A and B are shown apart, each in its own frame.
Chain A
Amino acid sequence: MNSRYFPGKQGLYDPQFEHDGCGVGFVCNINGKKSHDIVTKGIEVLEHLSHRGAVGADPETGDGAGILIQIPHEFLLKKSKENKISLPKIGHYGTGLVFLPTDNKDKNFCMNLFKKIAGEEGQKFLGWRDVPTDSSAIGKSARKTMPFISQVFIGRNKNLGNQDAFERKLYIIRKQVENNIRSSSIEQKTFFYITNLSSKTLSYKGLLKPSQLRGFFPDLKDKSIQSSLCLVHSRYSTNTFPTWDLAQPFRFLAHNGEINTLRGNINWVRARERLLSSKLFGTDIEKLKPVIVEGGSDSAAIDNVFELLILSGRSLEHSMMMLIPEAWEHNKFLSKELKDFYKYHACFMEPWDGPAAIAFTDGKNIGAILDRNGLRPARYIVTKNGFVVMASEVGVLDIAPQDIKISGRLEPGKIFFIDTQSSRIVHDCEIKKNISMSFPYGKWNSSNMVDLDKLVAGGINNKKSEDITSQLKAFGYSREDLKMIIKPMAEEGKEPTGSMGNDTPHAFLSKKSQVLYNYFKQLFAQVTNPAIDPIREKLVMSLESFVGPEKNILETTPEHSHKLMVRNPILTNGGFEKIRDISINGFKAKTIYTFFDATDGKEGFQRALERICFEAEYAIEKKYSFIILSDRGTNKDNIALPMLLATSAIHQHLVRKNIRSQVALIVESAEPREVHHFALLFGYGADCINPYLAYETIEYLIGEKEINLNLKKALFNYNKALKDGILKILSKMGISTLRSYRGAQIFEALGLDNGFIEKFFTGTVSRIGGVALEGIAAETIQRHNLAYPKKGMSDPYLASGGVYQWKKDGEFHLWNPESIAALQEATRNNDYARYKEFANMINDQSANPTTLRGLFKVKKVNSIPIDKVESAQNIMKRFATGAMSFGSISRGAHETIAIAMNRIGGKSNTGEGGEDPNRFITLPNGDSRRSAIKQVASGRFGVTINYLVNADEIQIKIAQGAKPGEGGQLPGHKVSEIIARTRYTTPGVTLISPPPHHDIYSIEDLAQLIFDLKNANPKARVSVKLVSEIGVGTVAAGVAKGHADMILISGGDGGTGASPRSSIRYAGLPWELGLSETHQTLLLNNLRSRVRLQTDGQMRTGYDIAIAALLGAEEYGFCTAILITMGCVMLRHCHLNNCSVGVATQDDILQKRFRGKPEYIVNYFHFVAQELREIMASLGIKTIDEMIGKTELIELKKNIISLKAKGIDYSGILYKPDLPRNVGRYCKSGQKSGLGSVLDKKLIKMCKNTFKKNEPTKISVEIKNTDRTTGAMLSGEVCRKCGDGVLLEDTITCKFKGFAGQSFGAFLAKGITFELEGMTNDYVGKGISGGKIIIYPDRKSNYEPDKNIIIGNTTFYGAILGEAYICGVAGERFCVRNSGLYAVVEGVGDHGCEYMTGGRVIVLGKTGRNFAAGMSGGIAYVYDKDKTFENKCNKDMVELEKVEEKDKDTIYHLLHNHYKYTKSQKAKRVIENIDNELKKFIKVIPIEYKRILEEVKIEERLGLTEGYDG
């Protein structure tokens, strides 16, 4: 609705990038028995999920809440009488709440339209009922935008055959009313919204907090409101401009999650509209278009399509399986029929990809589905008397333990479905079996689908370019492309790795001719949804696609599967020729060449673009199934269009004409060579790509003996590197299939003209404008001229490139030999004059514009004497160093930085990987090696309670500039004794940091982690590190609402110890954009005064800091510059462990070469502060706080911008929102801790004797799901007061009863035992640091523990040490990244023991799929009674063995404890018959770990060393 009361797009803020996370749930009576109690319970569920929602600056305005119930006929009958409406019997009228304009004229316009259209559609308009509302309790901002709410009634025409036909009519009426009002000229258009119009369901919702719903709609208190089901939703928007219409549930569903592929899905739906037809709708189908209403949320869009599918005759389950198919491609456990079903429907549409828990209902049945990777929690309880509650958490309703029949959870890709008519829960397998058997999909597929791999090749066209050097030059290949990109890919089959950051000019500023790809940056998931690990979780990933003309998605015919199945979209020459020559079953291909005549220049360029679009349209008319876009044959006379431009231009053109789905786009191009290029081509619409020149280059390199492999192997490797690289790019956005990624446009353009983008890359964000068609054409022609010079001779070699390595004739680098030497000299000799020379080399970019800030200058106004400016000492407190782990840099370097930062009062950062507790002790000379900032990253290495307690700041690293959305890996050979010790693992064991934090899949999860950390150390501030990209501002607003104290916006150019080269270069945006967007968004939300902002990413000089402050940052991070002062000369060898100056290496010999000193760093920071002070003086500014956000002091140096980018527009960056005076412009108030009423405060009081005298304490308390993070604050106190690991086992024992909230027992310290009788939610025992956790079902319950869920997802994540005994089943991701916990559990979901590096786990029951993925250490014992385990285990890194005698003690001991603590009957049975039962265990042991254990054993025998273990 985008009400005018809320900010529209302004500055860098764009409302389309709002995200939401939420709570979702339903209650129902299986028998379909209606009652008011169900409605009340539903609302109660909603209220108990309120901590998953959020509030912004106005604490009384929620982000939206609502319910969807069956039509409460009795109630409506009563009410309609009051309104003099005569209501027919149930099912014969449709109704729904309508949000109307408050202005009478506009309101009447809308109301009349209903009447008119209902009449036109032959239905009877019955009347309106004003819905009573009480707005006294709702928030100010909600009230300001509150619409007039009225309920419409429409009666069914008797001639309509049935209720479903009536539902369709209501749908048509609603769509037409919506379309009419959208195209009308009424002023308050944005107020108008139809919540629902149905004869089956009714929804109440609004911009409310869950607790306000009942009060706002007095209707809901009426006992005659009855339903047998109630679907509920509470919204957590990242932003505080949520609107009334985006509250959920929608018409058929409520969604907790995020559709990552939304742009693509919307485009593809649009592309299919031309073909829509349905007997059920007849000619009415035209009235439904557009199917998706633009401007809604992702959830609204999927609801739009879901609705269409259902109303055109498909069932709820069937439709959901089409939209969100489970990961079927590599699933060994699915039946052939089901796989055929999915394959058949993959020909209809791409998956709507992203984390999702969706609850849906049509008023009769109700169900829920989870996305293919299970990235949202969904727990349910079924009682013995036929009541079901499903919600994001367990414990949202009080249910007597003895009534519980089933405690379950929704599993990845599974459907939970209740058929109220037959009064039963229909299991996932039954639903899917029935649906998959309803048509002979398998037969249809086998007779219609064409498998590319099985097609017989025609004559292979083996023509090679006559002159490869000229071809390479014409397409802009440099020597670096060959040496550093193509060659390593062909040799190693992996994307090449690099290190350090990017310090070259942005494409639009570069003086070198740029290929179009360089203007685009990859987007990535952060906070609101997780990236995926495409390696360890490859079971959900797929590159398979079904290409070719699509059919009408509303029909089901055998011909629908007449598509070309392509397993690998990067075609070999052979595969490509097959498509060119295709003629099977009427398939035919048309080649369109992308050339223009060299003599036609820029006009030719433009004309060629128009020509190819026209030719494509014509080809569709002529029923061609494949369009081949080709640039083969480029020569001195023919210049090729940039292939990316050609592809996207055609794709967008065909989407606009609604005919894109009728053809496949096959690209045959010399241009793409690196992963980023391919991703862009797919992202902008290519179906398949044949990179012929890259292939030829490999052949050439083999001929040159540059690659010592045979061609077949080299091509295979190259192809594999591309495939893996594309999967990585997909996964960093949380997308798992190429089908969904295609056309999804997951990129941001930097420095491209908006008109150009709107025309050819429609919908892509480009925030500063820039190079237009003319400039792109000029660059293309320029490359061609270099390849085919008109006179003289062409060089027999390619250009240097100089992007990855500095070259004299290559791309410019800010870190170049001169600037490096100058900085080193200045800091070593404490020579400020030399520093100023250095600063000038960086700041004055007139000769080589490089950074966005390089185009700025600060205005000279009212200067003041420098001694009036805040002191350097004061300023330096705002300085921090970036997170460089000990592991990526050497010990000497790491400690030198810490000492220097402590000397100046700044903050150093541990980086991921813990910190040696010895460093917490101050050195005799007063220096301290303790890092003030303790980072918490996805691997959670060394994150113990002691580590957290010793922090001044705890930083949650969501992303890193050099590789946002990607994980990391420290290979075993780099894990030395000392690194292993600080990371609590075994030397030699590979350590994997997963791409996402497994306890942050959504914004509410991040809020939970912040809460956890604040509990662990209430004195430390908690910061969240984000990376600049479009939408980071709205994410930051969500983070601010999640109570972070500081938000760090990192630039995409920041450094790294090891990242794929393409990620260093192409992922993430400059901090100037991210910072400015964040500052503006927080201001608009009035959240700015709550948080501090920090920024980093290639900060070098005082001028950089000045710009950062003027754009809104209070604090500043430095990294590369620090390394350089310590001796780094940018070898960029960090990833090779080969740093010749000892900075970034763990090699003993090389570490000795380290010559860095804290003094150098101290000197450097003094210089930076001094330079900054000089600038402040020149601006007449006394303190940094005064400076924050004063963008009016920045000017643009227009004269240094190159000709091609003259169109640049910086106004968005410099935009200052117009705000009331009382809105704080920098951090003043800070956050409220939110720790006021945590249970731990009570526990701590009860433990006073332990703290005073180390005496044991015994506690017994009740616990609820709103008691979250129980144990963390207590553990922090123990650590602080008693010391780390000092207390004896069971010194403090707490017995809890009930449903515990999230993060139960997080970071539990040694000496504390938690015993829970009941159940609990996600994140149990995260980071457990020596404590003991015992959980068993309520003694009164009588379900079987090993078949029912007792703890949630992602439990014991990053566990350090301790014991856990869980009498019941755990959800997904049990013991993820366990370092040393010993645990027993009676069953686990998918991804059990993922990334585990140590410890022991016994699973006394079934496991889910992908067990032990990425497990590099520790041992798991799985009780595999029915011998099904092997297929569920990911054996990439582990071996399965029989249990040996030596394992017996461990198993016996742990099971014995398990029985002792939990009274597990299963454990009892096993230990009573241990010798026999032992045979049923399978031992899962990582191959690497096993080897190390054996080596240790040998050494022990030789008496060389003491044993160690995880």
Chain B
Amino acid sequence: MGDPRGFLKIARQTGEYREVSERIQDFEHVAKLRPEKKSQEQASRCMDCSTPFCHWNCPIGNYIPEWNDYMFHDNWQAAFVLLNATNNMPEITGRICPAICEYACVLGLNDDAVTIRENELAIIEFAFKNKLVKPVIPQKRTGKKIAVIGSGPAGLSCAAQLNRAGHNATVFERDEKPGGILRYGIPDFKLEKNIIDRRIDIWEKEGIIFKTGIDVGKDYPTNKLLKEFDAICLAGGSRVPNDLNIQGRNLRGIHFAMDYLIQANKIAAGALHKVSAGVRRSSVADEKIPTNELINAKGKRIVVIGGGDTGADCVGIAHRQRASSIVQIEIMPKPPECRSEDYPWPQYPLILKTSSSHEEGGERHWEVLTKRFIGKNGFVKRLVCVKVEFVKKKGNSCPVMKEVPGSNFELDADLVILAVGFSHPEHSGLLGELKLEFDKRGNVKTDNNYMTSVEKVFSAGDMRRGQSLVVWAISEGRRCAHSIDKYLMPARQGSSGGGESNLPSI
């Protein structure tokens, strides 16, 4: 371990954000990259627990104590090798992962957790800076061809893993550029798109084929797909949003969060918002968005319904678009600021999260139920809301929501964003043509080996498990790749029940 008593000497210190006044002027990263020395110092707090709960709680099983130790001892190369072993895109999780590992950090029992996410970021950025991240081209190819549908984190990590095992992976993406939700769902101020491009570039060199702008099932016949590929991985995400079917929903000015975010991201990627000349921006051809489809909060009173991360991202976008007022409402009660008894360590606790976007301003309200929208001239103008409370009944059953009598109130709004989650993937199109089975929630159903009801068709990521975290998507992609490898090359697996293969299974 870095320093056996490091955790007693050094306090937890997270990285800094740029000043609010500065950062809301642009779409660039709000978080400043922490100096390497600082990260090394923070790594010394890691106790190298023999039962590393962080590593356990991490869906991809990052070897956290090991790379903390390497980093502390200045062995960045070794730290990178191990980080790279479990995570295909640490530069992404290092920026946007909610770091469930940190909630399971043993130090968190009676002290502040280690800054694991930022340590991860430090390692991978060091590796990029020092040219340690290089395309590694497999020496021997298996000759097997796999199509990966969708280029979000699940599809990408699946393709990367398959490629490492010597298979030929082709990634199909219906959007202009690969990245899926990473590129189009997450604002630049949290994840600049050149970070994604940098990684895609390496994968292309390693031999992964990216076919963008192709909507499989529409632009590419399903039959052809099934014929040309030895296996298929469906990783198209879970994009059908939950809706709020209340009175006034059809008024203009009410949008789904994802529509708002995608548009904002496309605009940011294009020339519309060139901010500072010195920074290289991803050079997507300017997205021509028709003015009537533009969702812009400038000068508007915006209400974001939904208190989650997506909602918070919308808040951040709204700040940058100069909304005149921003209100975010959430139906659930305000979570406690620290871990409650309902979520004992090492569980991922429900606690109040204040994102960088929240720091930038706006109001947040909890226990608010939207009853209806009131409009004028077809445009939304107000929300009618009511305060609710959650009453716990006897036994272990979930608390029941009750409206608080007489607590009705109204909120003014020119723009309403619905960020109340996603229900399931799009059932029409490819999935429909493949006649796949779905689970109760409408997600693609698979067996334990990620295979769908159709032979040689696999699925991973949100499409399979429902809306989740990026790190889960990576884990899904990797595990799915492992299963595909086992499916395609059964003879290669360990011969005496060892179950070990040369593909990392975590």
Contacts and interface: CB of A to CB of B under 8 A. Distances in A.
Interface of A: 479, 483, 500, 511-513, 704-706, 775, 778-779, 781-782, 785-786, 789-797, 799-800, 804-809, 813, 815-818, 820-821, 824-825, 828, 1127, 1129-1133, 1136, 1138, 1140-1141, 1149-1150, 1153, 1155, 1202-1204
A817 to B, nearest CB: 4
B56 A816 contact: yes
B57 A817 contact: yes
Contact of A792 (B74, B81, B502): B502
B495 A806 contact: no
Contacts of B500: 512-513, 782, 786, 799
Given A782-B500, A1129-B109, A1131-B51, A796 B166 contact: no
Contact of A705 (B75, B109, B138, B506): B75
Interface in B333-347: 344-347
B496 A1204 contact: yes
B344 A821 contact: yes
B73 A705 contact: yes
A570 B446 CA distance: 55
B4 A791 contact: no
B495 A782 contact: yes
Given A786-B502, A816-B56, A779 B496 contact: yes
Contacts of B57: 817
B47 A1133 contact: yes
A791 B496 contact: no
A512 B502 contact: no
Nearest to A776: B496
Interface in B199-244: none
A466 to B, nearest CB: 15
B50 interface: yes
Nearest to B165: A792
A818 B57 CA distance: 10
Contacts of B496: 513, 775, 778-779, 782, 1203-1204
Given A705-B75, A1203-B497, A805 B110 contact: no
Interface in B84-110: 85, 104, 106-107, 109-110
B51 A1202 contact: no
B494 interface: yes
B468 interface: no
B168 to A, nearest CB: 12
19 contacts: A512-B500, A706-B78, A778-B495, A782-B495, A782-B498, A791-B141, A791-B165, A791-B166, A792-B164, A806-B56, A807-B55, A807-B61, A808-B55, A817-B51, A817-B346, A1129-B53, A1140-B106, A1140-B107, A1204-B497
Given A1131-B47, A1133-B49, A1153-B110, 10 more contacts: A483-B66, A513-B498, A706-B78, A790-B140, A809-B505, A818-B56, A1131-B106, A1140-B107, A1203-B496, A1204-B496
A781 B106 CA distance: 39
B133 interface: no
A789 B494 CA distance: 10
A803 to B, nearest CB: 10
Contact of B492 (A791, A813, A1202): A791
Contacts of A781: 495
A796 B81 contact: yes
Contacts of A1153: 110
Contacts of A806: 50-52, 56
Most B-side CB within 10 Å, residue of A792, A807, A1130: A792
Nearest to B70: A706
A821 to B, nearest CB: 6
A796 B138 CA distance: 12
B75 A789 contact: no
B318 to A, nearest CB: 40
B294 interface: no
Interface string B32-50: 0000000000000001111
B435 to A, nearest CB: 33
B109 A1136 contact: no
A1396 B345 CA distance: 47
A1141 B51 CA distance: 13
B75 A512 contact: no
Contact of A817 (B4, B104, B502): B104
Given A800-B63, A809-B61, A792 B7 contact: no
Question: Which 5 residue pairs are nearest across A and B when measured between Cβ atoms?
Answer: A1132-B50, A792-B166, A778-B496, A808-B61, A817-B56
A791 B50 CA distance: 34
B173 to A, nearest CB: 25
A424 B301 CA distance: 118
Counting chain B residues whose Cβ lies within 8 A of the other chain, the interface size class is 35 or more
Given A797-B81, A1133-B47, A1140-B47, A809 B504 contact: yes
B8 interface: yes
Nearest to A1130: B51
B450 to A, nearest CB: 18
Nearest to A833: B396
A424 to B, nearest CB: 65
Contacts of A775: 496
A1133 B85 CA distance: 27
Contacts of B75: 704-706
Contacts of B50: 500, 804-806, 1130-1133
B499 interface: yes
Contacts of B141: 791
A785 B165 contact: no
A1376 to B, nearest CB: 34
A706 B72 CA distance: 11
Contact of A512 (B48, B51, B53, B498): B498
Given A704-B75, A706-B75, A808-B56, A511 B497 contact: yes
Most B-side CB within 10 Å, residue of A793, A794, A1127: A793
Contacts of A815: 51
A487 to B, nearest CB: 11
B283 interface: no
A1057 B253 CA distance: 66
A662 to B, nearest CB: 38
Nearest to A1141: B109
B431 interface: no
B82 interface: yes
B5 interface: yes
Most B-side CB within 10 Å, residue of A500, A791, A1155: A791
A824 B73 CA distance: 34
Interface string B125-169: 000000000001011111000000000000000000000111100
A778 B499 CA distance: 13
A1204 B495 CA distance: 11
B284 interface: no
Nearest to A479: B66
Given A1140-B7, A1140-B110, A820 B51 contact: yes
B489 interface: yes
Most B-side CB within 10 Å, residue of A483, A782, A808: A808
Nearest to B51: A1130
B166 A785 contact: no
B475 to A, nearest CB: 11
Contacts of B65: 805
B492 A513 contact: no
Contacts of A1204: 496-497
A1374 B369 CA distance: 85
Contacts of B110: 1140-1141, 1153, 1155
Contacts of B48: 805
Contacts of A794: 502
A1129 B109 CA distance: 10
Most A-side CB within 10 Å, residue of B48, B53, B167: B53
Interface string B170-184: 000000000000000
B153 to A, nearest CB: 19
A796 B164 CA distance: 12
Contacts of B4: 1133, 1136, 1138
Contacts of B346: 817, 821
